[in-house]
Structure 1
Amino acid sequence: MASNKRVGIICASVVFGMVGLAYASVPLYALFCQVTGYGGTPSRADDNPKGVIAREMTVRFDSNVDHSLQWTVTPAATITDKIGAVDTVNYVATNHSDKPMTGMAVFNVSPERAGYYFNKIECFCFTEQTLQPGETVEMPIVFFVDPDLAENKDLNTIKEITLSYTFYASDNEGS
């Protein structure tokens, strides 16, 4: 009888542990990607302490909107600047529905190898945005490309980086 109770407690502990890990896996993976730049995930920074170098980099911006979100999102125009320069660009989103819609955005950088060197100081990603019917908003991104990219010989041929956002409807009220 005691043996069955012990087995039951162990099985219940394993189930609760697995459920807990399932819920924790997404934030832990996101943290891992931010720290390592894995999968083209940009790093977060407060500023660029390393300065600006002469090499230039073109940064393209892209947006995709899930069909369940009745928004149009216009990406920022492509820019070319010196590596290390802090730049600000805006995405513009418009709600085309007749009700408030709440959305979020996830991002990636390509080529993936450059994700480690792409640093965002300010970004709207992972923040829910609620747009009223017909409302248009600007969503700024402040970023820089880390000058250490120039020291990585495997990235000498990279002249262009693409920052891509995918917008989707949030499950919260307003969507």
Structure 2
Amino acid sequence: MSTASDNPTAIIKTVRGNIMIELFPQNAPQTVSNFIKLAQDGFYDGTAFHRVVPDFVIQGGDPLSKDSNPGNDGTGGPGYTFADEINPWSLGLSDQQISNLEAQGYQYTKDLTSLPNRVGALAMANAGPNTNGSQFFIITTKDQPGLNGKHAVFGQVISGLDITRKIQAGDKIEKITVNQ
């Protein structure tokens, strides 16, 4: 299925139902490309939503969530990291906010238009600046402007937002299918 914009879509098949995401390669091209490749390679199949915070986010994409040790969930990835694709100016961050984030190591570009961390956003989970890998989160119930400038949004839930709110910690991602 394609959207009116002809952006690629992804269906995250979970034990609780399907979540359909529109992906935005024009806003975060490397991030979208990475997500699509991992999905097509079956990387996400059988991983769990290892972090679920009510009224905030569901987080998944860690291959270590497949093992029997819940203590390492949230620490795994694909074996590489890549840079953030964020334009804080397009998000309306103040010069002071940008300066503070740059002091923490964030590096930005004006070559992209970033999307805000709002309800239904699909964004990269990371451990700090330029540490993106495979983990992602979906914002479930309240906009999260405090995440702007730190996490690249690369998609938006277009169907199944109700499913994101039913996800429990440990629920499996059965498969992610991408339609380009």
- Structure showing the higher helix proportion among its residues: 1
Smaller-chain TM-score bracket? under 0.3
State the structure with bigger RCO (CA 8 A, min sep 6), 1 or 2. Answer: 2
Length-normalised TM-score, structure 2: 0.23
Which structure: larger Rg?
1
- Structure showing the higher strand proportion among its residues: 1
